[in-house]
Structure 1
Amino acid sequence: MREIVLDTETTGLDPRKGDRLIEIGCIELVNRIPTGQEFHRYINPQRTVPAEAEAVHGLSTQFLLDKPLFAEVAEEFLDFIAGDTLVIHNAVFDVGFLNAELERLGQGPPISMSRVVDTLQLARRKHPAGPNSLDALCKRYGIDNSKRVKHGALMDSVLLADVYVELLGERQASLGLGSERAGAGRGRTIAAAAVRGPRPAPLPVRLTEELIAAHRAFVETLGPKALWKRYFAPEDPA
């Protein structure tokens, strides 16, 4: 089952009053597990970014001047989300902006809310007393959001993917890979609960040079912005 976790940043709150899309971030989930495939673009809104909006996401008019127009990324974006389910926090806001941009291009049909899972609505049903902002849900579920100094579409999508799994009660067991996300806030996982103590002797290394090379070759096929590439050592040419 393929799902797309999606977030946007904008110049303001209402596309009907001239506010525009300035960032789209998406990550792909298959069976609720991130695959490493992502879509991330900054967009030139062809207007100034108000100071109050810049204070939220940190994206200035000057920064966005040389970025592509939505018309230049629309087809790639639509190809990435395809016909799959979209997972969005406060979906009415993001879908409203996306559909406004598509309407400007005369490119339809609009994104239907029938294909959207709104995690804000899920959270309100599960935690009616709130609060149910993304930051509040990260705190509730022990998800490390310390790098979220400002709003950012891609980072918020990564955090929302973890929140989504928690809201569904499908928390994944930690794989102990040593990544920043693998251990963050996962003291309650099945894997952690299964640890009984240190081994008397370490297991022998099972990875051969051939297996390592095959893994690197596979990661290379995932595209230049695949999340898995971030876990290679800096000096690693892969």
Structure 2
Amino acid sequence: MREIVMDTETTGLDPYDGHRIVEIGGVELIGHMPTGRTYHQYINPKRSMPKEAFDVHGISEEFLADKPLFEDIAQEFLDFCGDATLVIHNASFDMKFLNAELEWCKKPLLPMDQALDTLAIARRRFPGSPASLDALCRRFGIDNSNRELHGALLDSEILADVYLELIGGRQPGLVLDGAQQVTKVSGDTDSWRPEPRPNPLPSRLSEKEKAAHAAFVETLGEDALWAKS
């Protein structure tokens, strides 16, 4: 199963108020495992960048001036997505912008049922709890210290880790062979193979819990299975 964990950055909140996409980032998963293949593109929005958007993204009009227009990258973007499930946090927002841009350049729209909303998943799993990307990173112990400004590719990479935790980590794939590596042959997506998580998530056991476990094992005697290294 192929999925693209995706994020967009925009000049504002509504494309039909004249706002545009300025950045798209995507991370490919196969069988719930990152393949190492990504998509990243800055886009010239053909409009001024509001100060509040610059404050959030840190992207200036000058930086975007020589970047391609959305219509110039639309087909490449659609080719990358293919029929993969699009995993997006607050999917209705990003899909509205993406489909507005695709409509304006007369390209096929992305069906809403192609998107999987991690915000909705988080709200179902943790009702009443904060469900922002930052809040979910804190819940799952995922390092987002580099997220001082919003960036589409960085946010996609972080969301990929969050998504895998929301669906139960890497258990669905039951990947037990640590020798699997990323491979690409002739640009064929099916030739990609998943790789292990590069940095293990930190242990959720406290030092107090570890000490209590060690003390309990000592009471079982030297022949106890847990006492053997």
Q: Partner of 1:167 in structure 2?
A: 166
State the alpha-carbon separation in 1 of the partners of residues 197 and 116 from structure 2: 27
Q: Partner of 1:216 in structure 2?
A: none
Q: Which amino acid aligns with 1:141?
A: F
Indicate whether 1:182 and 2:181 are aligned: no
Alignment: residue pair count: 188
CA contact (8 A) 1:27 1:39 kept: yes
Q: Partner of 2:35 in structure 1?
A: 35
CA shift at 1:165, angstroms?
0.8
State the alpha-carbon separation in 2 of the partners of residues 170 and 59 from structure 1: 33
Deviations 1:66-119 (A, max 9, x none): 1011111111100000011110000000000000000101112x1111111100
Q: Partner of 1:119 in structure 2?
A: 118
Q: Partner of 1:226 in structure 2?
A: none
Structure 1's consecutive aligned runs of 4 or more residues displaced over 3 angstroms after TM superposition are 171-175
Which SS does the other structure have where 2:122 is aligned? helix
State the alpha-carbon separation in 2 of the partners of residues 2 and 10 from structure 1: 26
CA shift at 1:186, angstroms?
2.9
Deviations 1:135-162 (A, max 9, x none): 0000000000001111000000000011
Q: Partner of 1:148 in structure 2?
A: 147
Which SS does the other structure have where 1:182 is aligned? coil
Which SS does the other structure have where 1:186 is aligned? coil
Q: Which amino acid aligns with 1:34?
A: P
State the alpha-carbon separation in 1 of the partners of residues 72 and 84 from structure 2: 22
**TM-score, structure 2 as length reference:** 0.77
State the alpha-carbon separation in 2 of the partners of residues 11 and 139 from structure 1: 27
State the alpha-carbon separation in 1 of the partners of residues 129 and 153 from structure 2: 24
State the alpha-carbon separation in 2 of the partners of residues 162 and 181 from structure 1: 11
CA shift at 1:52, angstroms?
0.4
Q: Which amino acid aligns with 2:53?
A: A
Deviations 1:40-88 (A, max 9, x none): 0000000110000110111111110010111111111000000111100
**TM-score, structure 1 as length reference:** 0.74
State the alpha-carbon separation in 2 of the partners of residues 47 and 180 from structure 1: 40
Deviations 1:153-211 (A, max 9, x none): 00000000111011111346997xxx99513x43159xxx9xx9xx9xxxxxxxxxxxx
Q: Which amino acid aligns with 1:73?
A: I
The 5-angstrom pairing of residues 1-238 of structure 1 reads 1-108=1-108, 110-171=109-170, 182-183=199-200, 185-188=201-204
CA contact (8 A) 1:123 1:132 kept: yes
State the alpha-carbon separation in 2 of the partners of residues 71 and 128 from structure 1: 40
CA contact (8 A) 1:3 1:84 kept: yes
State the alpha-carbon separation in 2 of the partners of residues 73 and 130 from structure 1: 38
CA contact (8 A) 1:26 1:40 kept: yes
State the alpha-carbon separation in 2 of the partners of residues 52 and 19 from structure 1: 13
State the alpha-carbon separation in 2 of the partners of residues 36 and 143 from structure 1: 18
After superposition, the CA RMSD in angstroms is 2.4
CA contact (8 A) 1:3 1:30 kept: yes
State the alpha-carbon separation in 1 of the partners of residues 155 and 165 from structure 2: 15
CA contact (8 A) 1:89 1:120 kept: yes
Q: Which amino acid aligns with 1:111?
A: L
CA contact (8 A) 1:144 1:181 kept: no
**Identity in percent:** 56
State the alpha-carbon separation in 1 of the partners of residues 3 and 203 from structure 2: 27
